[in-house]
Amino acid sequence: MTDNFYGEVLTDHNLHPLHKHELLCATCSHEGINSSCGDDIVLNLEIHDGVITNGSYTGSGCAISQASADIMLELVIGKTPDEAKQLSGLFSKMINGSISDDELEELEEAGALQNVSKMPARVKCAMLGWRTMEILLNENA
């Protein structure tokens, strides 16, 4: 679809999220807010034996904030907290426009948000889920 503003990957994750739901078995949760624009998510993770076995988010916000959280969960479920943090570092590098091609590959679908590096007003939106996950992992690892 050439008319699609953000590209299909992002739009799809926004309109049909895989991980936007409650998570009753979550072992830890954290709320992340961008107060200036009203993006507001609660991120839930289930961590067992050093592995993120499940995750979800709820809340509301712009397409970039919502899709970014959804794509992030898709990427980190099954990984260790350290691996997740490393991916978060790479994502942040991508948003800052300083990522290498090899590193970009590691981010898989999250690479679809690379264009945000050219939208300074939207960096906070893209980072919301990742920032919230980092806080969550630092507090609960």
Q: Where are the beta strands (DSSP E) in 3-38?
A: 28-34
- Applying CB under 8 A, among 45, 47, 52, 64 the residue interacting with other proteins is 64
Cα Rg of the chain, angstroms: 14
Of the candidate spans 59-67, 80-88, 107-115, 132-140, the one that interacts with other proteins by CB under 8 A turns out to be 59-67
CB of 26 or CB of 119, closer to other proteins: 119
Cα torsion angle, 1, 114, 104, 138, sign: negative
Rule CB under 8 A: which of 121-140 touch other proteins? 121-122, 125
CB of 16 or CB of 139, closer to other proteins: 16
14 counts as binding other proteins under rule CB under 8 A: yes
Q: Determine how many CB atoms are found less than 10 A away from the CB of residue 131.
A: 18
119 counts as binding other proteins under rule CB under 8 A: yes
The 39-48 sheet, strands edge to edge = 28-34, 39-48, 51-60
* 112 in Cβ contact with 95 (< 8 Å): no
57 counts as binding other proteins under rule CB under 8 A: no
Give me the residues that bind other proteins (CB under 8 A), please: 1, 3-6, 8, 11-12, 14-15, 36-40, 60-64, 119, 121-122, 125
